[in-house]
Amino acid sequence: MVAWVASAAVLLAACDKPGQASAPPPAAPAGTTTAPAPTTPAVTPTTPPAPAAPAAEPEVIFHSNRAQTNLPIVKLLIGPHELDAELCTTITQVATGMMHRKGVGTNDAMFFAFAIGQQRSFYMKNVDFPIAAAYIDTDGVVQEIVQLKARDVTPVPSKSERIQYVLETAPDWFTRNNVGVGALVTTPKGELRTTLARLARLP
Protein backbone atom coordinates (compact mmCIF):
# COMPACT_ATOMS: atom_id res chain seq x y z
CA MET A 1 0.00 0.00 0.00
CA VAL A 2 2.81 2.40 0.85
CA ALA A 3 4.60 1.72 -2.44
CA TRP A 4 1.35 2.35 -4.32
CA VAL A 5 0.81 5.73 -2.62
CA ALA A 6 4.39 6.89 -3.22
CA SER A 7 4.15 6.08 -6.95
CA ALA A 8 0.86 7.94 -7.18
CA ALA A 9 2.45 11.02 -5.59
CA VAL A 10 5.21 10.98 -8.21
CA LEU A 11 2.68 10.84 -11.03
CA LEU A 12 0.60 13.63 -9.49
CA ALA A 13 3.70 15.84 -9.15
CA ALA A 14 4.34 15.51 -12.88
CA CYS A 15 0.85 16.67 -13.81
CA ASP A 16 0.24 20.11 -15.32
CA LYS A 17 -1.21 22.88 -13.25
CA PRO A 18 -4.68 23.91 -14.40
CA GLY A 19 -4.78 26.72 -17.00
CA GLN A 20 -1.12 26.47 -18.12
CA ALA A 21 0.17 24.93 -21.37
CA SER A 22 2.78 22.31 -21.02
CA ALA A 23 6.21 23.04 -22.46
CA PRO A 24 7.51 20.35 -24.80
CA PRO A 25 10.18 18.20 -23.17
CA PRO A 26 13.76 18.85 -24.31
CA ALA A 27 15.08 16.59 -27.03
CA ALA A 28 17.45 13.88 -25.94
CA PRO A 29 21.07 14.26 -27.11
CA ALA A 30 22.02 12.22 -30.15
CA GLY A 31 23.29 8.76 -29.42
CA THR A 32 21.43 8.45 -26.13
CA THR A 33 18.34 6.44 -25.25
CA THR A 34 15.39 7.54 -23.16
CA ALA A 35 14.85 5.63 -19.94
CA PRO A 36 11.41 3.99 -19.73
CA ALA A 37 8.86 5.69 -17.48
CA PRO A 38 8.53 4.15 -14.01
CA THR A 39 5.65 1.79 -13.62
CA THR A 40 3.37 1.41 -10.60
CA PRO A 41 3.79 -2.02 -8.94
CA ALA A 42 0.68 -4.18 -9.01
CA VAL A 43 -1.16 -4.50 -5.71
CA THR A 44 -2.60 -7.92 -4.96
CA PRO A 45 -5.85 -7.58 -3.00
CA THR A 46 -5.97 -9.58 0.22
CA THR A 47 -9.02 -11.39 1.55
CA PRO A 48 -9.86 -10.32 5.10
CA PRO A 49 -9.88 -13.18 7.62
CA ALA A 50 -13.23 -14.73 8.41
CA PRO A 51 -14.76 -13.48 11.68
CA ALA A 52 -14.19 -15.78 14.63
CA ALA A 53 -17.15 -17.89 15.71
CA PRO A 54 -18.86 -16.57 18.84
CA ALA A 55 -17.83 -18.34 22.03
CA ALA A 56 -20.35 -20.86 23.32
CA GLU A 57 -22.28 -19.66 26.34
CA PRO A 58 -21.48 -21.62 29.52
CA GLU A 59 -24.14 -24.08 30.64
CA VAL A 60 -26.26 -22.79 33.49
CA ILE A 61 -26.38 -25.43 36.23
CA PHE A 62 -29.08 -25.31 38.89
CA HIS A 63 -28.70 -28.76 40.45
CA SER A 64 -26.50 -29.60 43.42
CA ASN A 65 -23.42 -31.80 43.13
CA ARG A 66 -24.45 -33.89 46.14
CA ALA A 67 -27.53 -35.73 47.38
CA GLN A 68 -30.20 -33.62 49.04
CA THR A 69 -30.80 -34.00 52.77
CA ASN A 70 -33.14 -32.49 55.34
CA LEU A 71 -35.87 -31.67 52.86
CA PRO A 72 -39.29 -30.78 54.31
CA ILE A 73 -41.81 -33.63 54.47
CA VAL A 74 -45.38 -33.48 53.19
CA LYS A 75 -47.95 -36.17 54.01
CA LEU A 76 -49.93 -37.20 50.95
CA LEU A 77 -53.24 -39.06 50.86
CA ILE A 78 -53.67 -41.16 47.71
CA GLY A 79 -56.88 -43.14 47.93
CA PRO A 80 -56.61 -45.24 51.10
CA HIS A 81 -52.83 -44.81 51.24
CA GLU A 82 -50.70 -42.37 53.17
CA LEU A 83 -47.27 -41.47 51.87
CA ASP A 84 -44.63 -39.25 53.47
CA ALA A 85 -42.80 -37.52 50.67
CA GLU A 86 -39.84 -35.14 50.57
CA LEU A 87 -41.04 -31.80 49.26
CA CYS A 88 -39.18 -29.90 46.51
CA THR A 89 -40.24 -26.33 45.71
CA THR A 90 -37.07 -24.28 45.05
CA ILE A 91 -35.18 -24.30 41.76
CA THR A 92 -32.20 -26.17 43.27
CA GLN A 93 -34.42 -28.74 44.99
CA VAL A 94 -36.44 -29.37 41.83
CA ALA A 95 -33.37 -29.52 39.56
CA THR A 96 -31.53 -31.93 41.88
CA GLY A 97 -34.37 -34.30 42.78
CA MET A 98 -32.99 -37.76 43.60
CA MET A 99 -29.54 -37.14 42.06
CA HIS A 100 -26.46 -38.69 43.69
CA ARG A 101 -28.42 -41.07 45.94
CA LYS A 102 -27.60 -44.74 46.31
CA GLY A 103 -31.16 -45.92 45.73
CA VAL A 104 -34.85 -45.46 46.50
CA GLY A 105 -36.60 -47.34 49.29
CA THR A 106 -39.85 -49.28 48.97
CA ASN A 107 -41.91 -46.39 50.32
CA ASP A 108 -39.56 -43.48 49.63
CA ALA A 109 -41.12 -40.62 47.71
CA MET A 110 -40.29 -37.15 46.46
CA PHE A 111 -43.00 -34.59 45.64
CA PHE A 112 -42.46 -31.61 43.32
CA ALA A 113 -44.90 -28.72 43.67
CA PHE A 114 -45.16 -25.87 41.16
CA ALA A 115 -47.17 -22.64 41.18
CA ILE A 116 -49.05 -23.29 37.93
CA GLY A 117 -50.05 -26.16 35.69
CA GLN A 118 -48.22 -26.72 32.42
CA GLN A 119 -46.48 -29.50 30.49
CA ARG A 120 -43.65 -31.03 32.55
CA SER A 121 -40.59 -33.03 31.52
CA PHE A 122 -38.46 -35.06 33.91
CA TYR A 123 -35.22 -36.93 33.22
CA MET A 124 -32.66 -39.01 35.14
CA LYS A 125 -29.32 -37.20 35.07
CA ASN A 126 -27.04 -38.45 37.89
CA VAL A 127 -29.67 -40.97 39.09
CA ASP A 128 -28.32 -44.52 39.15
CA PHE A 129 -31.63 -46.36 39.70
CA PRO A 130 -35.03 -46.41 37.98
CA ILE A 131 -38.09 -44.71 39.46
CA ALA A 132 -41.74 -44.11 38.66
CA ALA A 133 -43.17 -40.62 38.27
CA ALA A 134 -46.82 -39.57 38.41
CA TYR A 135 -47.80 -36.39 36.57
CA ILE A 136 -50.58 -34.76 38.59
CA ASP A 137 -52.79 -31.91 37.35
CA THR A 138 -53.94 -28.68 39.03
CA ASP A 139 -56.88 -30.50 40.65
CA GLY A 140 -54.61 -33.11 42.24
CA VAL A 141 -55.64 -35.88 39.84
CA VAL A 142 -53.04 -38.32 38.50
CA GLN A 143 -53.02 -37.90 34.71
CA GLU A 144 -50.13 -40.18 33.80
CA ILE A 145 -47.57 -42.51 35.38
CA VAL A 146 -44.25 -42.96 33.59
CA GLN A 147 -41.21 -45.13 34.23
CA LEU A 148 -37.90 -43.26 34.24
CA LYS A 149 -34.75 -45.24 33.43
CA ALA A 150 -31.51 -44.91 35.37
CA ARG A 151 -29.08 -42.34 33.92
CA ASP A 152 -31.39 -41.59 30.97
CA VAL A 153 -31.00 -37.87 30.22
CA THR A 154 -33.76 -37.84 27.60
CA PRO A 155 -36.64 -35.76 29.01
CA VAL A 156 -39.96 -37.58 29.33
CA PRO A 157 -42.69 -34.98 28.72
CA SER A 158 -46.19 -35.19 30.13
CA LYS A 159 -49.06 -35.55 27.71
CA SER A 160 -51.13 -33.04 29.64
CA GLU A 161 -50.38 -29.32 29.75
CA ARG A 162 -52.03 -28.96 33.17
CA ILE A 163 -49.41 -30.70 35.31
CA GLN A 164 -48.70 -28.83 38.55
CA TYR A 165 -47.29 -31.65 40.70
CA VAL A 166 -45.00 -34.63 40.15
CA LEU A 167 -44.62 -37.57 42.53
CA GLU A 168 -41.53 -39.82 42.27
CA THR A 169 -41.48 -43.23 43.95
CA ALA A 170 -39.94 -46.67 43.70
CA PRO A 171 -40.65 -48.18 40.27
CA ASP A 172 -43.38 -50.54 41.52
CA TRP A 173 -45.05 -48.37 44.15
CA PHE A 174 -48.10 -47.45 42.06
CA THR A 175 -48.79 -50.99 40.82
CA ARG A 176 -48.06 -52.46 44.26
CA ASN A 177 -50.60 -50.13 45.88
CA ASN A 178 -53.13 -50.28 43.04
CA VAL A 179 -52.87 -46.55 42.34
CA GLY A 180 -53.40 -45.49 38.75
CA VAL A 181 -54.53 -42.71 36.45
CA GLY A 182 -57.52 -40.86 37.92
CA ALA A 183 -56.41 -41.21 41.54
CA LEU A 184 -56.87 -38.09 43.66
CA VAL A 185 -53.93 -36.79 45.69
CA THR A 186 -54.63 -34.59 48.73
CA THR A 187 -53.14 -33.81 52.14
CA PRO A 188 -54.66 -34.15 55.63
CA LYS A 189 -55.33 -30.39 55.47
CA GLY A 190 -57.15 -30.47 52.15
CA GLU A 191 -56.48 -30.29 48.44
CA LEU A 192 -52.97 -29.69 47.11
CA ARG A 193 -53.54 -26.23 45.63
CA THR A 194 -54.75 -24.93 49.00
CA THR A 195 -52.18 -26.64 51.19
CA LEU A 196 -49.12 -25.87 49.06
CA ALA A 197 -50.10 -22.50 47.58
CA ARG A 198 -47.76 -20.50 49.80
CA LEU A 199 -44.81 -22.86 49.19
CA ALA A 200 -44.97 -23.52 45.45
CA ARG A 201 -43.52 -20.51 43.62
CA LEU A 202 -41.77 -21.94 40.56
CA PRO A 203 -43.84 -21.75 37.34
Quickly list DSSP for 26-73: PPPPTT--PPPPP-PPP----PPPPPPPPPPPPPP--S-SS---S--E
Contacts of 12 (CB under 8 A, 6+ apart): none
DSSP, collapsed to helix, strand or coil, labels residue 189 as coil
Comparing CA positions, the residue from 188, 189, 195 lying closest to residue 165 is 195
Could you tell me the domains of the chain? Answer: 73-195 (2.60.120.1140)
CA atoms within 13 A on the CB side of 83: 26
Share of the chain above pLDDT 90, in %: 68
Residue of higher predicted confidence among 123 and 15: 123
pLDDT (0 to 100) of residue 49: 74
pLDDT attached to residue 26: 54
Segment 1-53, tens digit of pLDDT = 333 333 333 333 334 344 444 445 555 555 555 555 556 556 566 677 777 77
Query: What percentage of the chain carries pLDDT values higher than 70?
Result: 77
pLDDT at 168 over 50: yes
In this predicted structure, what is the pLDDT of residue 148? 98
Task: For residues 136 and 70, give the distance between their C-alpha atoms in angstroms, rounded to a whole number.
Answer: 24
For 68-90, what is the mean pLDDT?
97
pLDDT of residue 22: 46
pLDDT value at position 154? 97
Residue 80 has pLDDT above 60, yes or no: yes
Which of 30 and 56 is assigned the larger pLDDT? Answer: 56
Residue 52 half-sphere exposure toward CB, CA atoms < 13 A:
3
Which is more confident, 35 or 187?
187
